Amino acid sequence: MTATRLDDPGCIITVSGRSDSELLAAVRAGDSDAYAVLFRRYHGRALQYARKHTRFSEIAEDAVMDAFLGTFQILLHQKGPTTEFRKYLFTAVWHAVVRRWGEGRHLLLVPVSDEALHGAEPSAETIVHDRFAARDQRKRAEVVLSLLPRRWQQILELTVLTERPIADVAAIFGLNPEATRSLAARARRGFRAKFLDLPDVA
17: DSSP letter: T
As a whole number of angstroms, the distance between CA 104 and CA 88 comes to 25
pLDDT digits (tens, 9 = 90+) for 16-33: 588 999 999 999 998 989
Q: What is the mean pLDDT of residues 135-142?
A: 67
As a whole number of angstroms, the distance between CA 32 and CA 34 comes to 5
CATH class, domain 20-102, is mainly alpha
Phi, psi for residue 108 in degrees, rounded to 5: -80, 120
pLDDT digits (tens, 9 = 90+) for 22-81: 999 999 998 989 999 999 999 999 999 988 877 677 778 888 999 999 899 899 889 999
Q: CA dihedral in degrees (160, 161, 162, 168; nearest 10)?
A: -30
Q: What is the pTM of this model?
A: 0.49
CB 50 within 8 A of CB 64: yes
pLDDT digits (tens, 9 = 90+) for 149-173: 988 888 887 887 666 788 888 888 8
Q: CA dihedral in degrees (191, 193, 198, 202; nearest 10)?
A: 40
- Residue boundaries of the structural domains of the chain: 20-102, 115-197
Kindly give the interhelix angle for 166-173 and 177-197, rounded to the nearest 10 degrees.
90
Which CATH architecture best describes the domain 115-197? Orthogonal Bundle (1.10)
As a whole number of angstroms, the distance between CA 13 and CA 32 comes to 11
